[in-house]
Structure 1
Amino acid sequence: MQLAHYLGLLHRAQDTLADALLEVGNAHADEADIAQLCEQQAELCRARAAALKPFADRYSEEAPDEPERLHSQLFRGTRNGGLAVLRDLQDLYLMAAECDLCWTLVGQAAQGLRDRELAEVVEQGEAETAIQLLWLRGRMKQAAPQALVVAG
């Protein structure tokens, strides 16, 4: 059964996204909304990862290294300058989008297996990730004029 692969991918992607959120929040502590929301979203990612644990055990989770690879490709230390906030938020968005896609795929597997418990965890994870993506997109829109037009 290949579900184990995607459960592992999603589980690790949630933990990796939590780490990245905390890193961005700390790097941009002068932006109070970013620091606070990154911390809050990191906690939600950790809770989603914990909610996946029983299913990872049930379906024998495999732990691929793709989330860490994506994290290392996107985050190469904290950024400085006018584009820093925008680029860091964009990286978070891409990582959250990977989680979003994984939630969808695991949800399809849950339906195929008729695993109602997993489907419920997926529904909540999908909903929370959708909100996360909306926040990140909105915050990038807010930062873009300053970063792209005003900053030199």
Structure 2
Amino acid sequence: MSFGLPSLKVKPELPSGLGIDQGAYEVPNLMSTGFASVKSNLEVPHPLISSERGYAKNREMMNLTMMRNTQGLHAPLRYTMECQAAKKIGHLPFLPSSNIMLDVLTGNDIEIGPQDIFGTPEFREIVGQPHAVVEKSLGIL
């Protein structure tokens, strides 16, 4: 019996093309491309890299599928509508938003990751003039 869950097995992703510019006589132009290792273009360094890239999306899809199977179709629809509404909540354009409501809905409020430490709004070097930022967002400037 299949519940329609996504596969947990790691599927290696190979690049679609080598990305080598071919010059005259189908020989790579080393002056523009430089020396390249063919092995690095063909292989993924580790199978877990491709799995980790889509971890959050796969986890969300699995949770939505499990919710649909246990509670019915209304539960994932309601959940996605609540997430969309939480994403649209905003402040003035020059104030950073913490997105705490979306974090609570998705369960990211109890996890600590690199995104919580690096690149936080209070350490950004870009500071705009509040009046100019609001006027630009309203289309006045």
Larger Rg: 2
- Greater helix share, structure number: 1
- Confirm or deny a common fold (TM above 0.5): no
What TM-score do you get using the length of structure 1 for normalisation?
0.32
